[in-house]
């Protein structure tokens, strides 16, 4: 070990580093690039050092060498202001000091941390110019920067052009696709990785589990969990948390609890919060609140996320009084209320039809209400048909400059349900003037380990004629059981038959019909929808579950609906 490095290992505070600096100066070793840069690097990046002091030393070096610059750039890249590393790199180039592969690596990591896509693109050109683009580790760092910045197309091109891939490059693609709302592609990369003979590690499975959670891909998630147990990766608490989250979001809360109960590693607050939220999404408010109380017995104090999960549980289970008590008890526990907690209470009261009380909660907030709060109230007004309150909420949203299509659609549907077609036309005109487009509804379902996506009125599936034929059969059979289409909420002022057709081909109905013709009777049908399930689909799927004797799990934007024998776990409260 070099002399300077040996002395650095004994430094555990900034005064020690200063003493070593003085020693290197008096002995002349500070002039040595190696000794000086080691001191700078240690001071800039270790817990014993100080980035500001490292910068002070650096600024007094007459002609900094590449390694000196690298030490400061590395420290800045790890700081709270990672883009300062990019600025430092620009200064390095102006000083006509030649960067090396390490310089490029540290600067790219700064771009990734700052989500600086444009800077990453510019830096890619620098790497090519310096001729270090063939460096595998540098390619992986660049790939990771693109993926984290959300430029998945550039990341994909980089990945396919790489002649050698280590595990880190696969991890970057899987995590990037999962975080970039391209979960199908994340799972494809995961499968390709295994086909290439590489063994996924903790980071890999975290990305793959996230993709399964988004898609509601239970079968794929179960396979990944089997791999996790075989490889003993469940010793990692982060992996266990992700598995609990995956099972919960795929509709199997009991399996999530099995993982939670059988954990070998110590549960963290995130573990408890994940499990409470899983019960909340499934509408099991009683179990969620039981866990919330047990949390403290495990030696952990609830945080703002814990309270939010518990409040959500009260929302979905209709536990209004319990939710209000929780909300009021936050101050006693020393947990500050934020806008999400207020939003949850407004939602709680709104679902229960206590719209005036919800409005007063918004008006009493110590901070300015955000768009989501007014959207929540607007949604409750739609549920209970309160046009006057809806118009108040809508005016607030317009004042705040909201351009969400959901705001306009909710108000339009409310007017439509009252037959106020002139007002519907006025809202549609406002949507057109503001270039607001309705978000298309789509649903996923998993059959045979393959994820299928359907959009409203979809005819893109190869078997669409069989699916539509099944829907015709379904419509006939549920009508015999008393089903009447809820056409009063269809936006357009069109004929009754056309309204029934619009409702009949919603994405969740298409997904259910496809699953009915593609799976055996004992297999639960799981559907994942991007929007809130509509009342008509909810009524129809309850009857489908009874007539076809199938368990059907629908996860919409806010919660799970488990349909069995003609009823739903939400008890028609959502």
Across the range 126-147, mean pLDDT stands at 82
353 and 435 both lie in a single domain: yes
Q: Find the mean pLDDT for residues 478-485.
A: 88
Asked whether residue 370 carries a pLDDT value surpassing 50, the answer given is yes
- Which of residues 405, 439, 473 is at a domain's end? 439
Q: How many CB atoms lie within 10 A of CB 572?
A: 11
Between 285 and 491, whose confidence is greater?
285
Same domain? 478 vs 434: no
Residues 473 and 563 in one domain: yes
- pLDDT band of 487, cuts 50, 70, 90: low
- 423 with 385, same domain: the answer is yes
Sign of CA dihedral 537, 538, 542, 548: positive
* pLDDT tens-digit series, residues 237-293: 999 999 999 999 998 999 999 999 999 999 999 999 999 999 999 989 999 999 999
Q: Is the pLDDT of residue 192 over 80?
A: yes
360 and 429 assigned to the same domain: yes
Mean pLDDT of 342-365: 92
In-domain check, residue 561 = yes
Mark whether 461 and 380 lie in a shared domain.
no
**Residue 331 lies inside a defined structural domain of this protein:** no
Residues belonging to the chain: 574
Per-residue pLDDT, averaged over 334-348, amounts to 92
**Do residues 370 and 339 make contact, with C-beta atoms less than 8 angstroms apart?**
yes
- The continuous run of DSSP H or E covering 394 comes out as helix 387-399
Which domain-ending residue is among 376, 406, 439? 439
At residue 3, the pLDDT reads: 66
Q: Taking residues 470-488, what's their average pLDDT?
A: 87
How many domains, the chain?
2
Q: Which of 55-69, 102-116, 167-181, 473-487 has the lowest mean pLDDT?
A: 473-487
The whole-model pTM stands at 0.81
pLDDT in tens, 91-112: 999 999 988 889 989 999 999 9
468 with 516, same domain: the answer is yes
Range name among 165-174, 308-317, 320-329, 565-574 with the lowest pLDDT average? 565-574
State yes or no: pLDDT of 567 exceeds 60: yes
Going by pLDDT thresholds of 50, 70 and 90, the confidence category of residue 496 is very low
* Domain-embedded: residue 496: yes
> Does 477 lie in the same domain as 431?
no
With respect to residue 574, please indicate whether it lies within any of the assigned structural domains.
no
What's residue 222's pLDDT?
95
Q: Which pLDDT value is given to residue 327? A: 94
Which range (31-40, 212-221, 486-495, 541-550) has the least confidence?
Answer: 486-495
Considering the domain architecture, whether residues 427 and 482 belong to the same structural domain is answered as no
Structural domain ending residue among the three candidates 439, 465, 498: 439
Q: How far apart, in Å, are the Cα atoms of 27 and each of 4, 23, 38, 187, 253?
A: 12, 6, 16, 58, 66
> What is the distance between the alpha carbons of residues 231 and 475, in angstroms, rounded to a whole number?
48
- Does 249 fall in a domain? no
Mean pLDDT (whole number) for 317-338:
92
On whether both 411 and 480 belong to a single domain, the answer is no
Q: Hey, is 444 helix, strand or coil?
A: strand
- pLDDT band for position 495 (50/70/90)? very low
Instruction: Report the C-alpha gap between 528 and 443 in whole angstroms.
Output: 5
Boundaries of domain holding 511: 457-568
Does residue 517 sit in the same domain as residue 474? yes
Is 55 a domain residue?
Answer: no
How far, in Å, are 85, 186, 193, 218, 343 from residue 171 at the CA level?
25, 10, 9, 21, 36
**406 and 507 within one domain:** no
Note the pLDDT of residue 1. Answer: 44
- Would you say residue 10 lies in a domain? no
pLDDT band at 36 (very low <50, low <70, confident <90, very high): confident
Residue 419 lies in a domain: yes
Residue 346: give its domain's CATH number: 1.25.40
């Amino acid at each position: 070990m070099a002399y300077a490095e040996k002395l650095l290992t004994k430094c555990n505070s900034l005064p020690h580093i200063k003493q070593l600096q003085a020693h290197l100066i008096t002995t002349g070793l500070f002039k040595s690039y190696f000794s000086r840069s080691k001191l700078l690097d240690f001071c800039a990046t270790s817990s014993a050092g100080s980035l500001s002091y490292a910068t002070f030393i650096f600024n007094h070096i007459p002609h900094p060498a590449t390694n000196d610059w690298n030490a400061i750039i590395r420290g800045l890249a790890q700081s709270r202001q990672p883009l300062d590393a990019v600025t430092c790199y620009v200064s390095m180039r102006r000083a006509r000091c030649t960067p090396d592969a390490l310089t490029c690596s540290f600067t790219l990591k700064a771009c990734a941390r700052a989500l600086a896509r444009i800077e990453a693109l510019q830096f890619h050109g620098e790497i090519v110019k310096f001729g270090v683009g063939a460096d595998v580790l540098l390619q992986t760092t660049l790939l990771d920067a693109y993926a984290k910045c959300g430029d998945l197309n550039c990341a994909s091109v980089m990945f396919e052009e790489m002649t050698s891939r280590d595990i880190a490059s696969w991890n970057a693609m899987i995590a990037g696709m999962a975080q970039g709302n391209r979960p199908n592609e994340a799972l494809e990369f995961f499968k390709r990785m295994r086909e290439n003979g590489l063994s996924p590690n903790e980071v890999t499975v975290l990305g793959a589990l996230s993709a399964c959670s988004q898609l509601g891909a239970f079968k794929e998630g179960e396979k990944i969990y089997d791999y996790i147990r075989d490889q003993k990766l469940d010793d990692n608490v982060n992996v266990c948390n992700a598995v609990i989250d995956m099972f919960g979001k795929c509709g199997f809360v009991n399996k999530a609890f099995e993982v939670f109960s059988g954990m070998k590693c110590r549960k963290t607050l995130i573990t408890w919060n994940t499990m409470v939220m899983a019960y909340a999404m499934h509408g099991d408010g009683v179990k969620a609140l039981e866990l919330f109380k047990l949390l403290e017995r495990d030696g952990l104090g609830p945080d703002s996320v814990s309270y939010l999960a518990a409040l959500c549980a009260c929302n979905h289970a209709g536990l209004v009084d319990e939710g209000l008590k929780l909300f009021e008890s936050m101050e006693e526990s020393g947990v500050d209320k934020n806008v999400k907690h207020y939003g949850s209470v407004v939602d709680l009261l709104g679902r229960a039809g206590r719209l005036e009380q919800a409005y007063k909660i918004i008006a009493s907030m110590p901070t300015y209400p955000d768009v989501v709060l007014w959207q929540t109230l607007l949604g409750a007004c739609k549920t209970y048909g309160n046009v006057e309150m809806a118009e108040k909420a809508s005016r607030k949203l317009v004042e705040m400059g909201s351009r969400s299509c959901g705001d306009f659609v909710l108000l339009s549907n409310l007017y439509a349900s009252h037959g106020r077609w002139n007002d519907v036309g006025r809202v549609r005109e406002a949507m057109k003037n503001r270039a607001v487009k309705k978000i298309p509804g789509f649903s996923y379902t998993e059959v045979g380990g393959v994820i299928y996506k359907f959009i409203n009125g979809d005819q893109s599936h190869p078997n669409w004629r069989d699916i539509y034929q099944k829907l015709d059969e379904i419509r006939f059979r549920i009508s015999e059981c008393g089903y009447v289409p809820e056409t009063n909420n269809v936006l357009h002022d069109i004929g009754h038959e056309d309204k029934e057709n619009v409702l009949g081909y919603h994405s969740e109905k298409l997904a259910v019909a496809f699953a009915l013709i593609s799976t055996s009777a004992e297999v639960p049908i799981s559907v994942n929808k991007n929007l809130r399930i509509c009342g008509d689909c909810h009524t129809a799927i309850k009857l489908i579950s009874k007539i076809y004797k199938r368990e059907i799990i629908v996860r919409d934007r806010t919660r799970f609906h488990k349909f069995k024998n003609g009823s739903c776990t939400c008890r028609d409260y959502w």
